[in-house]
Structure 1
Amino acid sequence: MVKVLAVLYKGGVHANDEPRMYGCLENELGLREWLESHGHTYVVTDDKEGPNSVLDKEIVDAEIVITTPFHPGYINRERIAKAKNLKLLVTAGVGSDHIDLTAANEKKITVAEVTGSNVTSVAEHVVMTMLTLVRNFVPAHEQIVSGGWDVAAVAKNSFDIEGKVIATIGSGRIGQRVLKRLGAFDPKELLYYDYQALPAEVEAELHCRRVASLEELVAQADIVTVNCPLHESTHGLVNKELLAKFKPGSWLVNTARGAICVKEDVAEALETGILRGYGGDVWFPQPAPASHPWRAMRNKYGGGNAMTPHISGTSIDAQVRYAEGTKSIIATYFAGTKEYRPQDLIVIDGAYATRAYGADKAVRKA
């Protein structure tokens, strides 16, 4: 029989309030009854830091390890080396950048994720964050909560999305859905940057235009949203040099991965006025330390930022989808057929199954 180890976040009392919050420690992705009824061992923990953590102790003889992007257990080379029985790594959600894929390839460990499980949830969060930033919602709300009433103080930094140039870095499943939803706001123009163009009919449907240069893209945009995966060529992509090309007073939204943006450079861009606001749902590391500069950064204009603790892809509807997808991946492994959904595979049999994590120019998958 197989030992399955899952690293999930702690739900506490909230787990009882919403039993469909499958991604939490208490609700266990809804897998325990199914796994144990087939004689398998299921260990679930949120303890993932340090050599004495439950993750480090239990991974030694685990055959399947499940992690999430929201409370990631970082499966590095050292952990893979000690996991003598490890055959399958599953991300309950989307994004496997917390896994050393090179080491997994060397050991011929299959890495899979539930592609598509979060796309609607994240796309909606992107649009919500844009509106929150551009309309200067957070300072307005904070003013009311504190007992104040100063319309001018918040209205001076409140604008419309209509008539703005909006750009996405990455035009994959999420990027396309963001563009589709933004069309209803009648923007001046919708732009995208990716390593290859979308089909002409898709561009026509989304009313968008590809910009071949990332620097040119951000120079034209009033609002930039990051919707690409994290890999070697996108790590630190939004840095001081690129931010210097942004239109002064623009807004930046990042629901992809925290490490795509250099945290100190984003904070500085807000202080200097390059950015009017930053909306970030992702951090590095996660959970973010209390000292992380994005927790308290302010901007020159007096406008608000919009920070959340990586919830964009873990709405209750998304949790239902990625719990079902995780079960399907594991069931395929048990069947021994290797007939996984092709879009779910990251590496298999010692090779990359998709360019999204192996090619230098790959941007699209997210």
Structure 2
Amino acid sequence: MSEEKLGQQYLAALHQAFPGVVLDEAWQTKDQLTITVKVNYLPEVVEFLYYQQGGWLSVLFGNDERQLCGHYAVYYVLSMEQGTKCWITVRVEVDANKLEFPSVTPRVPAAVWGEREVRDMYGLIPVGLPDERRLVLPDDWPDELYPLRKDSMDYRQRPAPTTDAETYEFINELGDKKNNVVPIGPLHVTSDEPGHFRLFVDGENIIDADYRLFYVHRGMEKLAETRMGYNEVTFLSDRVCGICGFAHSTAYTTSVENAMGIQVPERAQMIRAILLEVERLHSHLLNLGLACHFTGFDSGFMQFFRVRETSMKMAEILTGGAQNLRTEPDRRDSPRSAQRGHDPDPSTGAADAS
């Protein structure tokens, strides 16, 4: 790769602080670096990048790589913000027989959800994880069935329930048994999707709260890897969210292009930038309006949604409706009506945002 690699100072700092710990380093793009480290040093390395080097833990996930290297792998993706902005992914290989790796959560609490998800989906055990409750899987899911293992199950499979009882325990860390419990959900008029909240109260004071989500987990990752080709997944990523679908499709398509070494033409980049900006406008206006609504300021809610309608019309002019991004060349430009700023003419068709 001839481009200047960003984030070299972080890599140098890691080698200095942890000599001999980095086993492999690979640049996906000029600002995306993946390092494989010794599994026993995982918490220290992530803690160092997080606190000492100004990284933010963006996401962590597991992967079944037994067909590639005989191991599972866990990835911690950090967005480096303190100096040079780039992405550093810390990768560890997990023994396929022991299935254990040291938990990062005691050092970086932000890792707790990701490690609980890895435990649910792959059966990998984060040793030292302070919260071992299920995160994604329901109470009646079989104990030894881990959905994202390559050899575990097909997307169409629906295992028989193992219990009718609710076994999930809500935790009151800051209070005591004398606190009253106020349940909210799983279905509530103010919730965007099902979520079960437990408030632990002392009189009028809320002492602590706990919650459980993922009631409508759709298994999209399993669906994509078992029933779709790489060029079909964009139709799925576009439906991760009905409001911000283009951002998800852009993320997926960019990852495929980076993996395949595809250089995106400038024209395609410009079209994507325009559509992403339109999506950003209507998304921000949506959330500003909802913030007003949730605080009882419905006049502000209606005004923000009135302004938002303009950005929605812009999206309709540019795309004719739903936006879809593909890993294929552009076949059509934006419609001439959009270039002139006029209302869309149905006869011109929609732009292909690939």
Q: TM-score range by the shorter chain?
A: under 0.3
For normalisation by structure 1, the TM-score amounts to 0.26
TM (norm. structure 2) is 0.27
Bigger proportion of residues as strand: 2
From the CA coordinates, give the structure whose radius of gyration is larger.
2
